[in-house]
Amino acid sequence: MAQNARGEFTELLAARGVSRRDFLKYCGSVAALLGMSEMYAPQIASAIESGAKLQPALWLAHGLCTGCTESMAQVGTPDVPTIVLDLLSLNYWETVMAAAGTQAEENIKATIDAAATTPFITIVEGSVMEGFNGYALRIGNKPGTDELKEVCAKSAAVIAVGSCAVDGGWVAGNPNPAGATGVSAFLKKNNINVPVINLPTCPVNPEWVVAILVDVLLAGELKSGKILEKLDAQGRPKFLFNSTIHDNCPRRGHFENGEFVKFGAADQAAQEAAGWCLYEMGCKGPQTYTTCPLVRWNKAISWCVESGSPCIGCGQANSLTGGSGNWVDASTPFLDRTKNVRLPGVGGVQPAVIGEVVGGIAAAGLVVHGVASAAKGRVKGVPTETEKVYDAKKKGGDK
């Protein structure tokens, strides 16, 4: 990296009241989040420093509940002011930006117009609303899909935040009344070729948004094309989505012991207080690939399973399905191990013969994944079972 670029960046930070020491500390926490040693902090720092200008970004609001923006406001490292003042120039972010109406739209235009010299990234929150010729979402008197096509086509990269942007999310839930789909599928259909990074869960976990912004985009891996090597077939960063919740669950020991919280049992509260496993309550941890138990939520203060609720699998989005793989249809009824397969026009109530037995599928997944994990040496010294005791007893699921 050129020395003058580094000097320029340090001056920029100093002008913003950020010391180099603070900056390195921040890079250290990013390293930790990415599962790397803090020794990598200087490397991350130098990668970020190679550009003195703030990375311009547009955060688009589509078929959303604003929960992903809300989630960003709960980020632990770095804090929100650092993101919006020191890391990115978020020229458009509907929920927090000062400008409205005409003035807001001018910000999009100015950013696009400057793209040739200053490439920008686009962050999409919410489902792509294709229903009613795109008028299920109206922005500036036009179908929301127009904005998406126009902006994404000019972007250096697109980050789809939250399950809705990844594959339509709950909005695509049967019967998908508003024609929701995901960003990847939509852009592909419209022949817009731009790298899309998919970050599922509902809402998105803010810590992995930051990890992606820093590691993949600011650190120059977009320009080098290395970004694509870091993504799986669904466009998800592998390091965030390659282990199941069950793999890293603190209640896992109770699963191995066959100690399960029984929903509605007289001593349910005592079982929960003892931290027993929520598998029998329908927990979707075994089939959901996210790092929630490690990264946790709301500045790492807790996470879903710690609160006593089974995981509902909100990270099970699948960008390859164009909506039909949404997590709500994949996991309801949430408090059951057997899901209802919904056929168009038939509704949710299914005869037992076509009910898909998720327990069995999950069990197979556990065996395969357990072996794979052990081979990588992830589990500290404890040999992984070839088959879970519970599943051996309940072959084919428990319904």
Which part of the chain contacts other proteins (CB under 8 A), choosing from 34-42, 54-62, 217-225, 250-258?
54-62
Which residue in the set 150, 259, 272, 385 belongs to the binding site for other proteins (CB under 8 A)?
Answer: 272
Q: C-beta of 13: minimal distance to other proteins in Å?
A: 9
- Touching other proteins, residues 159-188 (CB under 8 A): 169-171, 173-178, 180
Q: C-beta of 142: minimal distance to other proteins in Å?
A: 10
- The C-alpha atoms of residue 3 and residue 175 are separated, in whole angstroms, by 57
Which part of the chain contacts other proteins (CB under 8 A), choosing from 181-189, 251-259, 297-305, 382-390?
297-305
Which part of the chain contacts other proteins (CB under 8 A), choosing from 20-28, 82-90, 214-222, 360-368?
82-90
Angle at 383 between CA 377 and CA 387, to 5 degrees: 115
Which residue in the set 34, 48, 84, 157 belongs to the binding site for other proteins (CB under 8 A)?
Answer: 84
Given the complex with other proteins, which of 40 and 334 has the nearer CB atom?
Answer: 334
- Touching other proteins, residues 304-343 (CB under 8 A): 304-309, 312, 314, 328, 332-335, 340, 342
The full DSSP string for 10-40 is HHHHHHTT--HHHHHHHHHHHHHHTT--GGG
Are 213 and 72 contacting, i.e. CB atoms less than 8 angstroms apart?
no
Phi, psi of 223 (to 5 degrees): -60, -40
Task: Give the pair of three-digit tokens for residue 211.
Answer: 């990890």
Which residue in the set 8, 22, 38, 79 belongs to the binding site for other proteins (CB under 8 A)?
Answer: 79
Q: Does 15 bind other proteins (CB under 8 A)?
A: yes
Q: Does 349 bind other proteins (CB under 8 A)?
A: yes
For 194, the 3-state DSSP assignment is coil
- Touching other proteins, residues 92-151 (CB under 8 A): 93-107, 127, 129, 131-133, 135-141
Given the complex with other proteins, which of 264 and 377 has the nearer CB atom?
Answer: 264
Q: Does 371 bind other proteins (CB under 8 A)?
A: no
Given the complex with other proteins, which of 227 and 358 has the nearer CB atom?
Answer: 358
Are 10 and 49 contacting, i.e. CB atoms less than 8 angstroms apart?
yes
Q: Does 16 bind other proteins (CB under 8 A)?
A: yes
Element (H, E) at 198: strand 196-199
Q: C-beta of 376: minimal distance to other proteins in Å?
A: 28
Which residue in the set 5, 24, 65, 115 belongs to the binding site for other proteins (CB under 8 A)?
Answer: 65
**CA 283 to chain CA centroid, nearest Å:** 19
Provide the 10 A C-beta neighbour count for residue 372. 14
List residues bridging with 302 in a β-sheet: 297
Q: C-beta of 382: minimal distance to other proteins in Å?
A: 27
Given the complex with other proteins, which of 239 and 334 has the nearer CB atom?
Answer: 334
Are 23 and 44 contacting, i.e. CB atoms less than 8 angstroms apart?
no
- The C-alpha atoms of residue 133 and residue 18 are separated, in whole angstroms, by 48
**Hunting for tokens 């509907």 — which residue is that?**
94
**Hunting for tokens 């138990």 — which residue is that?**
293
Given the complex with other proteins, which of 94 and 385 has the nearer CB atom?
Answer: 94
Q: Cβ neighbours of residue 253 under 8 Å, at least 6 residues apart?
A: none
Given the complex with other proteins, which of 228 and 269 has the nearer CB atom?
Answer: 269
For 268, the 3-state DSSP assignment is helix
Phi, psi of 74 (to 5 degrees): -100, 15
- Touching other proteins, residues 204-263 (CB under 8 A): none
